[in-house]
Amino acid sequence: MRLSIAIALLVLTLSSFAQTKILNTDLTESDSPIIFKDVINHISVEGIKVSPYYIFTIQGAMLSLRGSNKFVVSHVSRDSVTINVFTAEKSKQIKIYSKLFRAQTAGAPSVVLDEEYDDSSSNGQILNQTRLEVKIPNPNYDGDYQVAHFEISLKDAAGNIVLPPTFISGKYLGKVIYDKIVLLPSGGKILFTQIILTYSDGGYMQYKDFVLEIK
């Protein structure tokens, strides 16, 4: 009888965790079983409330708590990574969930100039949204890589300085600079230097300088 009760309680306990999910929020499809070797992965746990009564273990990487039901996974050293969830009550540990991730590389970031106007302003004003965007080769990666700041300068076809190196905070060029670019003749150059990239928990990194020529 006691054995039957114990089994019933175990089944009830496990069924209550049936909705548990471990998601990689840096993915285009967060429930896909993919984790990245070359960037920090942001993991969200759904279906349970993280507390001292749960133990999370990982095999093949490092797991760090970043808030309520939020973790980061880094230093992935294997081609597959397993995250396990255990209950920990009354000195007993019961595995309630396990997920196996396949390790991939996100790839080296590249920076491109994205020219865009936004005419959706409520007062009818046309806003220039031309900006530097970060592209990642792996289509499964959907993290928040972005340009933190950069310098831009302009030269005409003869090499004369039209705009000296100008510091820009963020990724948007702004209307004043964009209007100067529009006036550049064929052969004029846009020089992007001192480009700094960042993403959540990833710190900052220097990106290479590059030049665009007006056709």
* CB neighbours of residue 111 within 10 Å: 19
Decide if 65 contacts 133 (C-beta within 8 A).
Answer: no
At the second CATH level, the architecture of 2-104 is Sandwich (2.60)
Domain boundaries, the chain: 2-104, 110-213
Residue 203 DSSP symbol: -
Q: Three-state SS for 175?
A: helix
Match 């007993």 to its residue by tokens.
92
Report phi then psi at 175, rounded to 5.
-65, -40
The whole model's pTM is what?
0.79
At the second CATH level, the architecture of 110-213 is Sandwich (2.60)
Is there a common fold for 2-104 and 110-213? yes
Say how far apart CA 141 and CA 146 lie, in whole Å. Answer: 13
Per-residue model confidence as pLDDT tens for the chain (215 residues)? 444 333 333 333 444 455 789 999 999 999 999 999 999 999 999 887 766 678 889 999 999 988 878 999 999 999 999 999 888 777 788 888 899 999 999 999 999 999 876 655 454 444 578 999 999 999 999 999 999 999 999 999 999 999 999 999 999 998 899 999 999 999 999 999 999 999 988 889 999 999 999 99
The secondary structure of the chain in percent helix, strand, coil, rounded to multiples of 5, reads 10, 50, 40
